[in-house]
Amino acid sequence: MILEDLESKSLSIPLLKDKDKFVELTYQEWLKSKDKSVELLSSREWAEKNNEPYPISTDGSEILDSASFSRYENYRKKQFIQYRKLTTSELAKKKNQQNEEYDNYKKKVIERNNVKYGQRIVSPFVIGYGLAVVASSSLSSGLLSIERNTRKKED
């Protein structure tokens, strides 16, 4: 159900890239991120929606009602748990799998290019050797034909 909602809203799952792998955000990083992929109401919105007193001041510097703040904090943790469920879903696993496949592909391409580089270095020597063989055989054939043509014929 959560994945269907995510796909219908075309949201991206916020993840951190760590050594070419996507990993989940920590609770604090998730709270600070702009794209949460799971709806998180501000303290004011949450208080108005649930008919609660405002839990914290508008600038977030002080707690106005500790009981309300405790319930708001529980709400935020539940939303974070939903985010964690999303990131451990098939979508995040598929993304990491595709990244691994792409990394393997890049390594193979680099290896093939390195082999081609070696071939480029060796190929002039191979061609040169072939030309030397052709030239020496032509020279030998020319000398032998001259020697044969300069012999005295015995009749």
Where are the domains positioned within the chain?
Answer: 2-88
Confidence label for 153 from pLDDT (cuts 50, 70 and 90):
confident
pLDDT at 52 over 50: yes
pLDDT the model gives residue 1:
35
- Beta 16-18 vs 21-23: how paired, if at all? antiparallel
Residue recorded with tokens 């949201």: 11
pLDDT the model gives residue 20:
57
User: Which pairs with CB-CB distance under 8 Å and at least 24 residues apart come from 80-84?
Assistant: 80/27, 80/30, 80/31, 80/38, 82/2, 82/38, 83/24, 83/25, 83/30, 83/36, 83/37, 83/38, 84/24
Sign for the pseudo-dihedral over CA of 54, 57, 59, 63: negative
pLDDT the model gives residue 23:
66
